[in-house]
Amino acid sequence: MAGSRNYLVVGALLILIGAVLFVAQFLGVEVDRFGWPLLVIIPGLALLFLGVALGDAAGEGLSIAGGITTMVGLVLLYQNATGHWATWAYAWALVAPGGVGVGQIVFGAFHRRNKTVKAGLDVLLVGLTLFCVFGLFFELVIGLSGFDIGGGTVILPAVLIGLGVVLLIRNLFKFRGRAER
């Protein structure tokens, strides 16, 4: 029974990916020029959802691989859109450990495993902290990308909001864990 459900999920994902690519072709979207990071994001999301569908230890591993792959694609999407390729000097922290945490959070939330969600939030917080620390160093001290990360841009406020959201979610799951005891 579980095996047939897995084939259903994989089949549905393949149909969805094919439909998205077909619509992009029909609309004349130049995936190869501007949207090529989608060729990394879509398989990453497929791995993430396949892992969630499996629901066992192998599923958690696939969810983590999906989180990592999706984060690579999102970083590439940002870099492709902005030309800030030098941000790889610190964006790696969003991929690993950040993507690992995302995979754990998604898997744990779907299967109502609070310990897995908490572990994922902790790992994601480490990734976001490393990203912020190294990002601030490379941009403010070294001037790596040549753009102002402070005042006029949205990067610093967005990072601070993101860290705040992670801390709030982490605290919410910590509070729920105490209430369930």
73-108 tens-digit pLDDT: 999 988 888 888 899 999 999 999 999 999 999 999
Q: In terms of pLDDT, which residue wins out, 144 or 8?
A: 144
Dihedral sign computed on CA atoms, order 113, 40, 3, 57: negative
Question: Helix (H, G, I), strand (E, B), or coil: what is residue 98?
Answer: helix
Distance of alpha carbon 152 from alpha carbon 141, whole angstroms: 17
Q: In terms of pLDDT, which residue wins out, 45 or 170?
A: 45
82, 63 Cβ separation under 8 angstroms: no
CA 131 to chain centre: 13
Q: Which two tokens stand for residue 14?
A: 């393949």
With a cut of 80, say whether residue 151 has pLDDT above it.
no
84, 103 Cβ separation under 8 angstroms: no
Question: Helix (H, G, I), strand (E, B), or coil: what is residue 146?
Answer: coil
121, 101 Cβ separation under 8 angstroms: yes
Q: Which of 48-62, 91-105, 128-142, 147-161 has the least mean pLDDT?
A: 147-161
Average the pLDDT over 29-33 and give the result.
67
Q: How far apart are the first and last CA of the chain?
A: 34
Q: Which two tokens stand for residue 131?
A: 């990203």
Q: Quick one: pLDDT at residue 66?
A: 95
| pLDDT level of residue 33 (50, 70, 90 thresholds) | low
